[in-house]
Amino acid sequence: MLKVKGERTMKSLNARCIMCGKSYQLNEDHKDYKNLSEKNVSTATFICDRCSNKVRYEADEQRKPIKPSSS
């Protein structure tokens, strides 16, 4: 799929997040575009920014020391 941005033509591809299942349209300037376009598959899969941040937050929360409970 081609899009015109100013005078420049941008390529894009459709990809689906493997965690939430939402479909995204990734342009050439997306960080994962090069890796996904090289795989030559009809539907590319990746982890979207929202899910990536969610997993990072949950991992950080688990690494925090447990607060002592006041009894």
Q: Which residues contact 38 (CB under 8 A, 6 or more apart)?
A: none
pLDDT at position 40: 65
- State pLDDT tens for residues 18-61: 999 999 888 888 887 777 777 766 666 788 999 999 999 999 99
Beta carbons of 20 and 53 less than 8 angstroms apart: no
Residues 6+ apart with CB under 8 A from 37: 11, 13, 44
Helix (H, G, I), strand (E, B), or coil: what is residue 5?
strand
In this structure, what are the phi and psi dihedrals at residue 63, rounded to the nearest 5 degrees? -75, -15
pTM: 0.64
* pLDDT at site 16: 87
Indicate whether 63 pLDDT > 80: yes
Residue 36 three-state SS: helix
